[in-house]
Structure 1
Amino acid sequence: MKPNQVNCQNCEQPFDASFQFCPHCGQKANDKLTIGVLFYNTISNYFSFDARFFKSFFPLMFKPGYLPGQFIKGKRLLYLHPAQMYLFISVVFFFIFSFSVRQQTDSLNRELKKTLVSDVDVASLDSVEVKERERALKLEDSLTRIEIRKALEDNQWLTNMSDKDSIAILEKIPKNTDVSFGLNERKIDSLIALKASDEEIYKSMGMDDNDGWFTRKMYAQALKFYKARDGGTILQAFYDTVPIALFFLLPLFALIIKLLHLKKGTYTHHLVFSFYFFSYLFTVFSVIFGLNLIWDIPNWLDFLIALSTFIYLMMALKRFYDQGWLLSWFKSSVATFTFMAIVIPTAVFIMGLFAFLFY
């Protein structure tokens, strides 16, 4: 090795000691490991959170269709990569969304524990406790009806219902009605109290010996839910599948866009467009859920924000595919309807079934 040379700690190649970076691999010379360096490297390497993010974020929000167009033209170092932007914004969204999920799961569990009280549970209470429970249920029922009536009044502009119509709806709602599973709950409760085996309880629920794995699994999960009254766990399992589902939903959205623009670009081009569009959606949803955590946004404002995503899609299609307003409106309408009316409901059904089977 020549004088005044050092070896790179990364690639072990020699270079001049006066160099600040290794000319072979690019690592910084004498890069001491500190807390700041550790976290900076983690963030920059995983998210590439640098100046390119800010150069990309404002065009993403205010110039629909501009970023995918620039990326397709070859300007791929000036702006953040579409997949990296999608990854970073989706992580931020799910972090904010997790607070809302926790509130929903806790609320669902509380409501189930209030309403799903079996005959065995009631029989084990003394007369004072039974009266207290009935008083609590009446109070809860009254509060619930007040909330329902307020919601109906707040949305009269949308439902076009009068006060009499709202009162008529409230009168049709049963009071203090326990949730029914469509089963002989008294018999199941008795078997549980007698510590009968799960197989005996399955048969009392209607399972046959010849039923296959799927049917037996459904009975097993139904009994598990009946015993635990833990609907929040199922809801949490459902939400846990959302990030995985998006890995399939985003390519499906790109396929819909591709079918609407068969003669314009390859599937990869439409995938780039979808990455940026979903990044915009997650940004908007992050703002909505973030604001709802500290302030209950009016329903009409939620509706306007949701409508803005459709307008954004129409403008993005017009710019990216260089087409007229009418054609952009038509294709954005078809894409939105197909995705919301067919793809999303199918995905929700599969995710719900998966959450119930494996929670």
Structure 2
Amino acid sequence: MKTGRTKVFLSPVPIPIAVKADRKHEHCLNCGNSLPERDNFCPECGQENKDQKVPVGVFLEELLTSLFSFDGRFLRTLTAFFFKPGKLTRAFNEGQRRKYTHPIRLYLVFSLFYFFMIGFLIPKDFFDRLLNAGQATISAVQQQQSKGKGETLDPETQERVEEALKKADAISPVDISQLQAANDTEQSYTWKTLRFLSIDPEVSTEKFGHALDSSAYAFDIGLSLQKKRDLVAHSNLFLIQVAKNLPLMMLVLLPVFAFFIHLLFAGRTVYFIENIILGFHLHAFAYALYGAVILLAFFGGVNSSWIFLAAFVLVTTYAYLALLRLYKQHWFKTLIKFWVLGGMYLTVLLIGMAAELYLSLLLL
């Protein structure tokens, strides 16, 4: 009678073990435990067995590899990230931590992409161009009103106005003495004039304040006259400071967004941290889409008005579908909660933007 025995054949040649030969140690640098030469990790504490003293180039290479490891997992993540709202959040919350890229890493990648697009593509003199164009528009309206209702500008004036609206060039040097001579009369000062008055050391702060109050750019938000002068003189620097502080503000507001979701969907057995993961994914999607839109607007020659509107519709639709997938409530009930969530978050976002602008102004 045959028995079901399994024969085991032992190979006389030892099977080679894959060993990391680079930067190995005989003991663990973390806990001091002795390590055989073949061990890639310490059996006591789990730290990798390799020399941690490396040149700057190797350190940066390992850092970038750990943050932006665009392997097959990252490509698989992108498919679910862009085309299946809420899937990544559900997978992470259900314990699938190795299947897709970590939410924080995904958030870092696309937030860096978005804010790099803003800082790199928006001109450094954007503030001046915007206000100069606004001054040209104001002048056109004032001339139109002075002509009376129903009348139009003469062709020569109309051509000058259109040319000013098209160019809105950066500030060019002007004769300061002419500006000072014009200060003695009551007039509406242009942004160019205010800029040169603010940087001219011979113009007193009181005289600059009089010019500012006589212009269309007068404002009163509790700042001293000297701080107002600094703002006009360094307006482009102020814009750069705002752009630098924006990523930190958005990161601070992300738990607030998760808290609003937690309140609206309190009936569901969901931990607060799970809503934070959803916030990472939704903000990362918004950064990815808006960053791509900015790129298309600057290099693709695409009409920025409708494409930004389309991006906003896509981001809001994506967020709604993600909530619908995760919390599985009726579509109309989810829609109502989504509108409430949008109103609450928009209010906090505007308050945060105002606070961020004010703090950037104080640090100017």
TM tier, smaller: 0.5 to 0.7
Show the counterpart of 1:273.
278
Letter in 2 for 1:245: M
For residues 50-107 of structure 1, give each alpha carbon's deviation from its aligned partner in whole angstroms, at most 9, with x where no partner exists: 5443332221111101111111112223222222221222122212221133x1x323
Q: CA distance change for structure 1 residues 73 and 18 in 2, over 3 Å: closer, same or farther?
A: closer
1:323 lines up with 2:329 in the alignment: yes
Show the counterpart of 2:126.
107
Contact 1:59–1:66 (CA under 8 A) maintained in structure 2: yes
1:57 lines up with 2:83 in the alignment: no
Contact 2:110–2:287 (CA under 8 A) maintained in structure 1: yes
1:179 lines up with 2:198 in the alignment: no
Show the counterpart of 1:162.
none
Shift of 1:345: 1.9
Q: CA distance change for structure 1 residues 26 and 51 in 2, over 3 Å: closer, same or farther?
A: farther
Contact 1:89–1:282 (CA under 8 A) maintained in structure 2: yes
Show the counterpart of 1:163.
none
Q: 2:340, 2:350 → 1: CA distance?
A: 16
Show the counterpart of 2:315.
309
| TM-score, scaled to structure 1 | 0.67
Structure 1's unaligned 5+ residue stretches are 117-136, 149-175, 207-213
Structure 2's unaligned 5+ residue stretches are 1-23, 136-156, 169-186, 213-220
Q: 1:205, 1:177 → 2: CA distance?
A: 8
1:79 lines up with 2:83 in the alignment: no
Q: 1:110, 1:270 → 2: CA distance?
A: 41
Within a 5 Å distance, the mapping from 1:160-199 to structure 2 comes to 178-179=189-190, 194=202
Contact 1:89–1:283 (CA under 8 A) maintained in structure 2: yes
Shift of 1:30: 7.4
Question: What's the RMSD between the two structures over aligned residues?
Answer: 3.9
Q: CA distance change for structure 1 residues 147 and 344 in 2, over 3 Å: closer, same or farther?
A: farther
Q: 2:66, 2:313 → 1: CA distance?
A: 36
Q: CA distance change for structure 1 residues 178 and 320 in 2, over 3 Å: closer, same or farther?
A: same
Larger Rg: 2
Q: 1:35, 1:351 → 2: CA distance?
A: 35
Q: 2:243, 2:91 → 1: CA distance?
A: 34
- Structure with more helix by fraction: 1
Q: CA distance change for structure 1 residues 239 and 31 in 2, over 3 Å: closer, same or farther?
A: closer
1:40 lines up with 2:61 in the alignment: yes
Identity of aligned residues (%): 21
Q: 2:307, 2:231 → 1: CA distance?
A: 37
Match of 1:347 among 320, 342, 352: 352
1:243 lines up with 2:247 in the alignment: yes
Q: 1:202, 1:178 → 2: CA distance?
A: 11
Letter in 2 for 1:10: L
Q: CA distance change for structure 1 residues 218 and 83 in 2, over 3 Å: closer, same or farther?
A: farther
Q: 1:35, 1:113 → 2: CA distance?
A: 46
Contact 1:310–1:332 (CA under 8 A) maintained in structure 2: no
Q: 2:246, 2:320 → 1: CA distance?
A: 26
Show the counterpart of 1:255.
259
